[in-house]
Structure 1
């Protein structure tokens, strides 16, 4: 059975990704800080007969995150898909004119540093098998700067550049690198483009069809047309 690890698994997109890829035969490994919430997500997967496991860790603690991946690798061997989509930097956002150097620490740790640590934990085996996939989901601020969300904009744009470099470096080595930048507010059970299930379906389609690289979701969305 192939294994997918979801870093920053939550009740919206993380759960939808778990359900979509789980029903396609993947064992789902979910990583997040709150163990109680993880247990609730896992119960939903159990009810849908999806194989899963959970690991509770603060992804900003890079040493603990690295150790978590060691345990996952030991338990499951090769990780076939890494999905990275934690939500850091959106709460109590600071206008750029009020930004202090230390204000960006959490957003940088939870976005860029955690992404690098996660990729480093899985990439060597992917390269040795000449297969694997890295899936990144961000918000629109990764592409369009938002001065009222300065921490998130700085962290997500740095993450975006890391993703672009990964894609350029790995495209000839059969490692899929995909990035979807969301221009919507997630709405559970909306049954439209804002539904996390719809986005998860798009992710599986993108992965299955090897549509590597970056895309805006919905196609062509801008800060002026973001769907709330």
Structure 2
């Protein structure tokens, strides 16, 4: 589980571990590409290939803009963070998933979603799948 806040990651990993789920946190910030590359290198070294990627970063400093006020100056930071961040992150796992003809990439999320529910849902999803397919699920929350 890569994210910016190591303390939150450690707490979530401890909760999952208490439920019998192997979990570990890895610090990385989507706005700092080198940290994402480093985090995935450590994850791959520790676990090997990645079977499931869930991408749902949140940057509270990027406020919403009314549709008629959208322009390059306020849209570009959103694109840089969310779209470019997603592209960089997916590139960390896509080639191995394609080569294995197996893998799942999930995108979406919301800052008020209960992380315990999300984590449990993904574990249940992974456990229930008998034949993984490479696909993308867009969550509209």
TM bucket normalised to smaller? 0.7 to 0.9
Indicate conservation of the 8 Å contact 2:40/2:92, yes or no. Answer: yes
Find 2:92's aligned residue among 121, 124, 129: 121
| 1:6 corresponding residue in structure 2 | none
Find out whether 1:33 has 2:4 as its counterpart.
yes
The CA RMSD over aligned residues, in Å, is 3.5
SS where residue 53 of structure 1 aligns?
coil
Per-residue CA deviations over 1:92-149 (Å, capped at 9, x if unaligned) read 322233334232343223311111111111122222222212112257xxxxxxxxxx
- State how far apart, in whole Å, the 2-side matches of 1:214 and 1:47 are: 28
Please tell me whether the aligned partners of residues 16 and 22 of structure 2 are also in contact (alpha carbons under 8 angstroms). Answer: yes
TM-score of the two chains, using structure 1 as the length reference:
0.48
Which residue pairs with 2:21 in the alignment?
50
Q: Separation in 1 of the partners of 2:53 and 2:25?
A: 14
- Count residues with an aligned counterpart: 136
The two structures have a TM-score, normalised by structure 2, of 0.73
Q: Does 1:78 align with 2:86?
A: no
Which residues of structure 1 form unaligned runs of 5+?
1-29, 140-184, 189-194, 218-225
Q: 1:204: which partner in 2?
A: 125
Greater radius of gyration (CA): 1
* Alignment CA distance shift 1:120-1:214 (3 Å): closer
**Contact 1:88/1:106 (<8 A) preserved:** no
User: What secondary structure does 1:52 align onto?
Assistant: coil
Counterparts of 1:144-159 in structure 2 under 5 Å?
none
More strand by share: 1
- Structure 1 stretches (4+) deviating beyond 6 angstroms? none
Output the CA distance in 1 between the equivalents of 2:91 and 2:125.
23
Cα distance change of structure 1 residues 43 and 113 upon mapping to structure 2, 3 Å threshold: same
Counterparts of residues 77-156 of structure 1 (less than 5 Å) = 77-88=48-59, 92-137=63-108
Residue segments in structure 2 that go unaligned for 5+ positions in a row? none
